[in-house]
Amino acid sequence: MIVLNCLWYLSPPGLLVPYYPILHLIALALIFIFRGKILDLINREDKRGVMIGATIVSFSGMMANHMMGNLIFIGSVNWFIQLKGVKDALVNLGFYWLKSGLPKIDPTGLGTIFTLTFPVYIVERLIFTAVASLICSSIIYALRKSSIIEI
């Protein structure tokens, strides 16, 4: 996560949209805070502890996956489409409100794309984390009950 977050700030939109990896930084902080306790949480007998451990692991994994996808997208975007054209087209279509919160100097258009998707990714990743946490804790509970593994 440290490397992925550092690579974000070295990428073209990294300094244009510095707030974008806020959830990724929270995931990194959770890893540092609970790194010695996550396994203990998952190994607890109570469902609350398992759910907390599963949520931390799921959230951190979702954020690492998301940042890796962002970096792959940033690296490959100019091979397929010049995103500055997308920004200009949106403004020309009458979306003048887009100008207010967008980066002023954005030669690639990537800052614009990441600014527009910021609220979407937050809701999306939190929903994914909730679903993954439920699945993860259910699998752990089922495996314990079946005595297939001892966690």
Q: Where are the domains of the chain?
A: 2-146
More confident residue, 134 or 100: 134
82-102: average pLDDT: 64
The average confidence (pLDDT) of the chain is 86
Q: What is the pLDDT of residue 74?
A: 87
Q: What percentage of residues in the chain have a pLDDT greater than 90?
A: 48
Whether the Cβ atoms of residue 74 and residue 11 lie closer than 8 Å to each other: yes
Does the pLDDT value for residue 149 go beyond 80? no
Q: CA 16, CA 49: separation in Å to the nearest integer?
A: 39
Greatest C-alpha distance within the chain: 62
Q: What is the pLDDT of residue 114?
A: 87
Q: What is the pLDDT of residue 21?
A: 95
Q: What is the pLDDT of residue 107?
A: 67
DSSP 65-82: HHHHHHHHHHHHHHHH--
Does the pLDDT value for residue 40 go beyond 70? yes
The tokens for 67 are: 């940042």
Whether the Cβ atoms of residue 4 and residue 68 lie closer than 8 Å to each other: yes
Q: CA 25, CA 74: separation in Å to the nearest integer?
A: 19
89-109: average pLDDT: 64
Does the pLDDT value for residue 105 go beyond 80? no
